[in-house]
Structure 1
Amino acid sequence: MITLANVRKDYASDVRIGPLDVELPAGGITALVGPNGAGKSTLLTMVGRLLGLDAGTVTIGGYDVTRTPSKQLAKVVSVLRQENHFVTRLTVRQLVGLGRFPHSKGRLTADDERHVSDAIDFLGLHELEGRHLDELSGGQRQRAYVAMVLAQDTPYVLLDEPLNNLDMRHAVGMMQHLRRAADTLGRTVVVVLHDVNFAARYADHVVAMKDGLVVEQGSPAEIMRDDVLSRIFDTPVSVVDGPHGPVACYF
Structure 2
Amino acid sequence: MIEISNVRKSYGDTIVVQNVSLQIPRRGITSIIGPNGAGKSTLLSMISRLAPITAGTVKVDGLDVTKTPSDVLAKRLSILRQDNRVTSRLTVRDLVEFGRYPYSKGRLTAEDRAQADKAIGFLGLEALSDRFLDELSGGQRQRAYVAMVLCQDTDYVLFDEPLNNLDMKHAVGMMKLLRQAADTMGKTIVLVLHDINFASCYSDFIVAMRDGAVVRHGPPAEIMTSEAMREIYDMDVEIREIQGRRISIYYT
Structure 2-normalised TM-score? Answer: 0.98
Task: Give 1:13 deviation, angstroms.
Answer: 1.7
Identity of aligned residues (%): 57
Residue 101 (structure 2) pairs with residue 101 (structure 1):
yes
Aligned amino acid, residue 24 of structure 2: L
SS in 1 for 2:72: helix
AA paired with 2:170? H
The AA in structure 1 aligned to 2:218 is G
Alpha-carbon spacing, 1:55–1:15, altered in 2? closer, same or farther (3 Å): closer
The whole-number CA distance in structure 2 between the counterparts of 1:178 and 1:14 is 34
Amino acid at match of 1:11: Y
Give the aligned partner of residue 135 of structure 2.
Answer: 135
Q: Which amino acid aligns with 1:139?
A: G
Paired positions, count: 251
Alignment of 1:147-226 (within 5 A): 147-226=147-226
Q: Unaligned stretches of 5+ in structure 2?
A: none
SS in structure 2 of the partner of residue 68 of structure 1: coil
Q: Is the 8 A contact 1:88 1:133 kept in 2?
A: no
- 2:27 and 2:186 in contact (8 A); partners too: yes
Distance change >3 Å, CA 94–CA 246, structure 1 → 2: same
**In structure 1, what residue type is equivalent to 2:43?**
L
State the match for 1:6 in structure 2: 6
SS at match of 1:5: strand
Amino acid across the alignment from 1:123: L
1:246 aligns with 2:208: no
Shift of 1:14: 3.9
2:82 counterpart SS class: coil
Distance in 1, Cα, partners of 2:207 & 2:59: 17
- In 2, distance between residues paired with 1:18 and 1:142? 32
User: Please, which moves more after superposition, 6-15 or 163-172?
Assistant: 6-15
| Structure 2 residue 47 is matched with structure 1 residue 47 | yes
Give distance in 2, aligned partners of 1:212 and 1:80: 21
State the alpha-carbon separation in 2 of the partners of residues 160 and 10 from structure 1.
20
Offset of 1:243 from its aligned partner?
Answer: 2.4
- The Cα of 1:89 is off from its aligned counterpart by 1.8
How far the C-alpha of 1:110 sits from its partner, in A, is: 0.6
Secondary structure of 1:166 counterpart: coil
Q: The residue matched to 2:86 in structure 1 has which SS?
A: coil
**Aligned partner of residue 184 in structure 1, secondary structure:** helix
Q: Distance in 1 between matches of 2:98 and 2:183?
A: 24
Q: Distance in 2 between matches of 1:101 and 1:6?
A: 32
1:76 aligns with 2:76: yes
3-state SS of 1:83 partner: coil
Determine the structure 1 residue equivalent to 2:91: 91
Larger displacement relative to structure 2 (9-18 or 195-204): 9-18
For residues 88 and 16 of structure 2, the distance between their equivalents in structure 1, rounded to whole angstroms, comes to 36
Identify if the C-alpha distance between structure 1 residues 115 and 9 changes in structure 2 by more than 3 Å, giving closer, same or farther: same
| SS at structure 2 position matched to 1:124 | coil
TM-score scaled by length of structure 1: 0.98
1:63 aligns to 2:67 (yes or no):
no
CA distance in 2, matches of 1:55, 1:219: 28
| Secondary structure of the structure 2 residue equivalent to 1:79 | strand
Runs of 4+ in 1 over 4 A off after TM superposition: none
Alpha-carbon distance, 1:116 to partner: 0.2
Q: Which amino acid in structure 2 is aligned with residue 17 of structure 1?
A: V
Query: Aligned partner of 1:196: which letter?
Result: I
Give the aligned partner of residue 122 of structure 2.
122
Contact kept, 8 Å, 2:8 with 2:15, in 1: the verdict is: no
Aligned to 2:38: 38
* C-alpha distance in structure 2 between counterparts of 1:211 and 1:138, whole Å: 31
RMSD: 0.9
Find the residue that maps to 2:112 and give its secondary structure: helix
Q: Which segment drifts farther, 241-250 or 159-168?
A: 241-250
